[in-house]
Structure 1
């Protein structure tokens, strides 16, 4: 077995990696639960800067494949129908109902000093949330979310940054969704004889 030096090109790559900032590992611990009401089963609802405005009641849903924007936010951001791009796929709501999108719009999302652009599907339907942030946003930011810890963590500039959830707002949203449900709809429990 012979031992030799790496070629100069490999040495340069290793040197650049050593000088560059290491990406911090993303993790959650019991310390991240401080300031949250435990135990809970609350959704992760945050405030984000979307299109230059601070937007409340934004649901972070890593189970969703697309970012969704509802009418109140679309109008509040002063967007016009001409700002929409065509989007012709149907979306399925939480209740299993299909919704025809009005179109798609690309907007910047700012978290602290970090900015990513996201394509929102604009849906004319009721929601207690103003928007839903999904995997494309999380992946573009390099983020990981935790409903248990009520946080989104992402690496930036060699350190870890956080977006903190608002449990009170999450609970208001669920109460709003439940109170809006028509009384004529049978509950799943009633349908199952429970």
Structure 2
């Protein structure tokens, strides 16, 4: 879209490109030295040079010479396999295409016909191939019709003393009971293959010769004809193993009912425990565990200020009603329509886009557990703000793992959350720290309380009164 709208999109391209990076690519971008990129072409070249070893190998036209029709391979399968290979080759010469395609045919009557008629174009060759495919399909249909009669004749005229020299091995199920899924096994197999939870089988197993199989039945797991996915014992055992490992919970039909029943039991138990606690005197706590993350919400920059704030919290005896402001009381609730994820139980963080000043900042984490609103120095540089706007501030931010990050200073920036007309703009005091982060800004309790925002990590949604 950016290339289509006009040529003067270099700044937009350079700014948009990193927003789609992840993993090693994002780590590479964070280490690019400042001022080393002057155009999107420089950024693209630097990216390609760094990840040259990870480039996907693309075959050339010489590779087509290695594709030959198998001894028992149908013309349709050969053409499909050859076409898939040509899709990877750019600017393939039609003359080379036709020559290699004819050279890969196995010796047969159709091969002799092609040698005599000598089609000069791909269209002419494909017309003859289409006619030959129809002939092969008719022959396959006749073989399928005759196959049951041949088996009956063998059963009828077999001598009493004869023995079967070759019996097809029949697979037996590994489990006595199987999980009931809320989706067809074929759809589950396709999804987990696309998600690379499992690898496709290298071999099809001991199944009937593919020349005499029923083409109306196809297995999504083995990628072959002859049986359907729901009747495939290998696929059935594989899905059962994954289900027992807990990897297919969203497809399990009874898992939701079990969870609801367990929740009911836990609620009953909790109510019973609460009734017991009301009748008995609670035990005294063995100790107190406190955690201070740092920042303005922790009580101040000095230790004495934090101690005063802590003593004030301990001295609170009752609830102080907040002063009534102009905004009316608003009840904030979440319902089924607020879900933003197809899988609400994956514990994803709530990440939104906000407007800071005149810029739209993506990858903004809403963290009610943070006692500070954090603006990372790398984001500050991208915003092209003046260093003079940074006001001095000492102290450190402390994470849950104990690491300490020094605070470079703080800055007041106008922050807008939501979209017009359902938006609100407030001046927020951000702490600036210089460390690596997958996010650009972290909105903590101070800003969330100012916005009067309520975050639902279950719904991946945030609501606030406007």
Give the corresponding residue for 1:131. 441
Give the corresponding residue for 1:122. 432
Cα distance between partner residues in 1 of 2:364 and 2:432: 14
Change in CA separation of 1:101 and 1:21 when aligned onto 2, cut-off 3 Å:
closer
Match of 1:145 among 447, 455, 458: 455
> TM-score w.r.t. structure 2 length?
0.28
Change in CA separation of 1:102 and 1:23 when aligned onto 2, cut-off 3 Å:
same
Find the residue that maps to 1:31 and give its secondary structure. Answer: helix
Map 1:12-161; keep pairs closer than 5 Å.
22-33=328-339, 35-111=341-417, 112=419, 113-156=423-466
Shift of residue 89, structure 1, vs aligned partner: 1.4
Shift of residue 110, structure 1, vs aligned partner: 0.6
The one of the two structures with greater contact order (alpha-carbon pairs below 8 A, sep at least 6) is: 1
Shift of residue 47, structure 1, vs aligned partner: 0.7
Cα distance between partner residues in 1 of 2:461 and 2:349: 11
Shift of residue 21, structure 1, vs aligned partner: 7.2
Q: Which structure shows the bigger proportion of residues in helix conformation?
A: 2
Shift of residue 137, structure 1, vs aligned partner: 1.0
Cα distance between partner residues in 1 of 2:433 and 2:327: 41
Q: What do the CA deviations read for 1:61-97 (whole angstroms, capped 9, x no partner)?
A: 0011110011221011112221111111111135321
Shift of residue 52, structure 1, vs aligned partner: 1.7
Q: Which runs of 5+ in 2 are unaligned?
A: 1-323
Q: Which structure shows the bigger proportion of residues in strand conformation?
A: 1
Q: What do the CA deviations read for 1:97-123 (whole angstroms, capped 9, x no partner)?
A: 101111101101112331011111100
Shift of residue 32, structure 1, vs aligned partner: 1.5
Cα distance between partner residues in 2 of 1:93 and 1:81: 26
Change in CA separation of 1:72 and 1:94 when aligned onto 2, cut-off 3 Å:
farther
How much is the aligned-residue C-alpha RMSD, in angstroms?
A: 1.9
Ranges of 4+ aligned residues in structure 1 off by more than 4 Å: none
Change in CA separation of 1:27 and 1:77 when aligned onto 2, cut-off 3 Å:
same
Q: What do the CA deviations read for 1:145-164 (whole angstroms, capped 9, x no partner)?
A: 111111110011xxxxxxxx
Q: Is the 8 A contact 1:36 1:149 kept in 2?
A: no
Q: Which runs of 5+ in 1 are unaligned?
A: 1-16, 157-194
User: How many equivalent residue pairs?
Assistant: 138
Cα distance between partner residues in 1 of 2:405 and 2:372: 13
